[in-house]
Amino acid sequence: MDKKDKKTRYLAGFSLAVMGFGFLLTIPFQDTLSGKLLQGAFEAGLVGGLADWFAVTALFRHPLGIPIPHTALLPKNRERLTQALVRMLEKDWLTVASIMEKIRKINFSDKILMIVSREIQNEYTKKVVHSLIRDSLSRMDVSKLVPLLEKEMKGYLMEVDASRLLKSVADGIVDRKYDEAAFNYILEESGKWAATEEARQTMGKVGKQLIETTEADGLLKFAIQSFNQMMNEERIGQMMQTFILNRIKNVSNPDNRYRTLILEWIRKELVGIENREKLMEEINDWKNKLVNDLELKGQISSLLDTTKGRILLFVDQEDFVDHYINPVVLRYINAIKEDDEKMSSIETWLHNQVATAIENNHSKIGILVKENLDKLDTKTLIDMMENNIGKDIQWIRVNGAVCGFFIGLCLTVFKIVIY
């Protein structure tokens, strides 16, 4: 109870004491006119004050602790008063209709967007957002993504059509004349090898073995044997080396007829490669087997770990939220604000959610009030009620004494006049 309530309670007690003390003082002077008037006034004031004291006290407790019938009304009817209060809140003061009427006047979307726009500029909010993003990334277990990514990558490779891929490669080779460059490279490397001593010796041995193992009859056999006796490995190797080098030199000439024929054949095979069904089938089977046998988990895991580390370094920048998060959020908020249809949809959705929540939880208002009241023991509850409305109650006592005083004064005058 605050000081004002205490003063009022003291005033009520003081007024009752004044009436009682005044009544006692006027007893010796009741034979005089003024004594009779004052005694009647103080007597009526004392009776009025005591009556109001009894009435007010009877609301909260038994007067003087005596269990007089129809006293201590509030403690005896606590449950009924609680139920009445709950019904009054639910059906009169805080009805669904009254709450929704107030809710409909609130523009939730504007308020929410305004709060978000303001709060994301707050340093504390930026720190929280930055910490949340970084913690989420650091706690992310990228190893769980490895099987999924491996499956997706292998699935993608399985779906790749080798014929289309080879067709694209072949067309690129022809368009950019890579076939001619490759042919020139082969000729150049072959010429380098053929010009070596090792190549000459190898070709001499091969040529000698070829002559010695050639089967023939009659004159041809005699000619081969005679040629074999005249030629050794050195001479055969030299002859074959000179022949091959001359052929390579001739074919390397852009105007050589055989070169043109070879390149035309190569280009014809490249251009029509997708039409070779058996070859394409074999290549696709080889490709599928190769994909199935691929072990990508290690590479994918390493790539994910590296990527995660780089992202964390990027997020660790002090101005990350200011430069990369807030601008995106603000652009999105502004876009929503400029779109009347979207704003209307959001507002409708928010009101529907609030309305649903209120309808589903309206009964909890009364339950909450009842639970809070039930937690209080009767004495505490009565003290709270008496303290909260104590000022008005004490004035009832004061008014009873004062009104009784003046009424007693009037009645005494009336008695004197009559008698």
Contact 32, 419 (CB under 8 A): no
- On the 0-12 / 13-18 / 19+ scale of CB atoms within 10 A, 372 is exposed
Q: Provide the terminal-to-terminal Cα distance of the chain, rounded to the nearest Å.
A: 50
pLDDT bin (cut points 50, 70, 90) of residue 202 is confident
Average pLDDT over residues 212-233: 62
pLDDT digits (tens, 9 = 90+) for 209-221: 776 666 656 655 6
Rg for the chain (alpha carbons), in Å?
Answer: 56
Residue 56 sits in the same domain as residue 25: yes
How high is the mean pLDDT of the chain?
A: 76
Choice between 72 and 56, residue whose per-residue pLDDT is larger:
56
Q: Where are the alpha helices (DSSP H) in 93-161?
A: 96-103, 108-119, 123-139, 146-159
Candidates 175, 166, 181; CA nearest to 272 is 166
Under 8 Å between Cβ of 1 and 386? no
149 lies in a domain? yes
Q: Is residue 324 part of a domain?
A: no
CA triple 239-242-245, angle to 5 deg: 145
Per the structure, the complete domain to which residue 169 belongs is given by: 140-176+276-316
Burial of 150 (0-12, 13-18, 19+ CB in 10 A): middle
Q: pLDDT tens digits, residue range 77-88?
A: 666 766 666 666
Do 288 and 172 sit in the same domain of this protein? yes
Choosing from 270, 295, 326, the residue where a domain stops is 270
3-state helix, strand and coil shares in percent for the chain, rounded to the nearest 5: 85, 0, 15
**Alpha-carbon dihedral sign for residues 396, 401, 406, 408:** positive
Taking residues 225-252, what's their average pLDDT?
A: 77
Range scoring the smallest mean pLDDT among 43-47, 105-109, 372-376, 394-398: 394-398
Task: Give mean pLDDT, residues 244-268.
Answer: 85
Do residue 72 and residue 34 come from a single domain? yes
Tell me if 299 is assigned to some domain.
yes
Count of all residues that appear for the chain in the document: 419
Residues 8 and 42 grouped into a single domain: yes
266 and 283 share one domain: no
Distance separating alpha carbons of residues 157 and 152, to the nearest angstrom? 9
Q: What is the mean pLDDT of residues 398-408?
A: 64
User: What is the average pLDDT across 80-103?
Assistant: 69
DSSP at 121: T
What are the tokens at 255? 């105007």
Instruction: Tell whether 285 and 264 lie within a shared domain.
Output: no
**pLDDT-based confidence at residue 206 (cuts at 50, 70, 90):** confident
Residue 310 forms part of a structural domain: yes
- The DSSP string of 51-64 is HHHHHHHHHHS-GG
Checking if the pLDDT of 198 tops 60, the result is: yes
Mean pLDDT of 278-286: 78
**Same domain, residue pair 165 and 302:** yes
Whether residue 104 lies inside any domain: the answer is: no
CA distance 124 to 249: 80
Cα-based angle 297, 299, 300 (whole degrees, multiple of 5): 65
The residue out of 287, 316, 345 marking a domain boundary is: 316
Q: Is the pLDDT of residue 9 over 80?
A: no
pLDDT at 43: 74
pLDDT score of 396 = 61
* 341: helix, strand or coil: helix
* Six token digits for residue 30: 């009741």
Q: Does the pLDDT of residue 331 top 80, yes or no?
A: yes
Counted domains in the chain: 3
- CB of 403 closer than 8 Å to CB of 16: no
Cβ atoms 245, 193 nearer than 8 A: no
Same domain, residue pair 166 and 224:
no
**Dihedral class, residue 146 (left if φ above 0, else alpha if ψ from -120 to 50, else beta):** alpha
131 within domain boundaries:
no
Residues 233 and 248 both lie in one domain: yes
The residue among 132 and 284 whose pLDDT is bigger is: 132
Q: Which of 270, 298, 327 is the last residue of a domain?
A: 270
Check pLDDT > 80 for residue 52.
Answer: no
* 199: in domain: yes
* Residue pair 42/22 in contact by the 8 Å Cβ criterion: yes
> Is residue 129 scored above 70 in pLDDT?
yes
Q: Which residue has the tokens 């022809």?
A: 174
User: What is the distance between the alpha carbons of residues 393 and 53, in angstroms, rounded to a whole number?
Assistant: 9
- pLDDT confidence of 277, banded at 50, 70, 90? confident
The CA angle 41-43-45, to the nearest 5 degrees, is 70
Convert 241-263 to b/e letters by CB count within 10 Å (16 or more is b).
beebeebbeebeeeeeeebeebb
Sign of the four-CA dihedral 74, 80, 86, 90: negative
Identify the three-state secondary structure at position 141: coil
Asked if the structure places residue 357 within a domain, the reply is no
Same domain? 261 vs 280: no
pLDDT of residue 180: 84
Q: What is the pLDDT of residue 84?
A: 66
Q: Are residues 288 and 403 in the same domain?
A: no
Provide the pLDDT for residue 1. 46
Position of tokens 């309530």?
Answer: 5
Q: Decide: residue 44, CB within 10 A, 0-12 exposed, 13-18 middle, 19+ buried.
A: buried
- pLDDT-derived band of residue 62, with 50, 70 and 90 as boundaries? low
pLDDT for residue 219: 59
266 and 196 share a domain? Answer: yes
Higher-confidence residue of 47 and 123: namely 123
Residue 260 — very low, low, confident or very high, per pLDDT cuts 50/70/90? confident
What is the number of other CB atoms lying within 10 angstroms of the CB of residue 399?
15
DSSP string of 242-300? HHHHHHHHHHTSTT-HHHHHHHHHHHHHHHTGGG-HHHHHHHHHHHHHHHHH---HHHH
